[in-house]
A = this chain, B = another copy of it.
């Protein structure tokens, strides 16, 4: 089933201990769409400026991603500059230019209307909510956010959370959002805000999947699940790792005939798999040239890493 994703398509300038890249293709929706495209049809809603050319568009088209919802606007594309020189786990933002995103009014192409899955990648919660409301009939909605929106735009974010089935955030964001340092209690607090499932990403330690407890369904199958991250000798560029995780996770779910507990567990593994590829090279370089065979081989590697037999 097709996924529509709304989020940023951007240029990133990135500095890490492995080197530096100027204005490479980036943005949450870009990383998400590329990762999800290995599992299902993906359609993007975003806005870009006059600096977005055929070369960038070709990266999407090579993966059969529908870009009819990427609007061209006068001005420049969203630009972000960040450094991981001090800490590979957290980017230090040097510059953020919203540019064309400052006045973005998302429009849903008619061809996207039959999407059954919707992903609200990390952007202004006001935009996330608008897209959510314009697509009321989707089967499953997941979303991401970041510390900035939690801290300074909480009322708008809380409105978005009410309309989400699944939220994907990291430890720090979960603790901040719930105001609780204990991860289990923080997860429960976040799910009380709306989402019935919550993925908390632990960086190099993997990710956990929590489900809202259902008094009518106490079956063990709905229990918490932990997927590992791959121990890596080198992280070239962490940018987009979380979005690639989300793309693998949600893309795999959208490819499944039924959303069983087993499908959720495998989705967590595919999320970790896509995140592990994303960091191997700068920007979208690694995911853009990836093959399904490599994905399946790494999935087995994750299984060996965690399974008793």
- A residues with a Cβ closer than 8 A to B are 88, 181-185, 187, 202, 204-206, 208, 210, 220, 223-228, 231-235, 262, 265-266, 269, 301, 303-309
Contacts and interface: CB of A to CB of B under 8 A. Distances in A.
A226 B309 contact: no
Contacts of A225: 305-306
B233 A184 contact: yes
A23 B308 CA distance: 39
Nearest to A235: B182
B304 A231 contact: no
Contacts of A228: 226, 228, 306
A48 to B, nearest CB: 36
A184 B208 CA distance: 22
Given A182-B233, A204-B183, A307 B304 contact: no
Question: Quick one: which of A204, A305, A307, A308 has the most chain B CB within 10 A?
Answer: A308
A140 to B, nearest CB: 21
18 contacts: A88-B181, A182-B233, A182-B235, A183-B204, A184-B233, A187-B231, A205-B205, A205-B206, A223-B305, A224-B231, A224-B305, A225-B306, A226-B228, A226-B231, A226-B305, A269-B308, A306-B306, A307-B307
A262 B183 contact: no
B182 A306 contact: no
Contacts of A234: 182
A98 to B, nearest CB: 33
Nearest to A308: B265
Nearest to A88: B181
B208 A308 contact: no
B233 A266 contact: no
A303 B309 CA distance: 11
Contacts of A223: 301, 304-305
Contacts of A265: 308-309
> Shortest 6 CB-CB distances between A and B: which pairs?
A205-B205, A226-B228, A184-B233, A184-B231, A306-B306, A265-B308
Contact of A308 (B202, B210, B233, B307): B307
A308 B266 contact: yes
